[in-house]
Amino acid sequence: MCVLCGKDFVAQVHWTDRHVEDRARASGPGADPVEYQRDRRRDRIHRAALTNEVLGHYGLRIQEWSGSKYVLRDRKGRTEIVQDLGSLWPAAENLSGRPLDPLDPALQASLSGSDDAWDEK
The answer for residues whose C-beta is within 8 angstroms of residue 63's C-beta and 6 or more apart is 48, 70, 71, 73
14/78 with CB nearer another protein: 14
Amino acid at the residue 103: L
How wide is the angle at C-alpha 75 spanned by C-alphas 68 and 57, nearest 5°? 85
78 near another protein (CB under 8 A): no
Amino acid at the residue 61: R
How near is the Cβ of 119 to another protein at its closest, in Å?
Answer: 9
85 near another protein (CB under 8 A): yes
Segment 28 to 67, residues that bind another protein, using CB under 8 A: 43, 46-47, 50-51, 53-54
How near is the Cβ of 93 to another protein at its closest, in Å?
Answer: 8
Region of 43 (left: φ > 0; alpha: ψ -120 to 50; beta: rest) is alpha
On whether the CB atoms of residues 62 and 48 are closer than 8 A, the answer is: yes
31/109 with CB nearer another protein: 109
Binding site for another protein (CB under 8 A): 11-16, 18-19, 22-23, 43, 46-47, 50-51, 53-54, 85-86, 88-90, 93, 99-103, 105, 107-109, 111-112, 114-115, 117-118
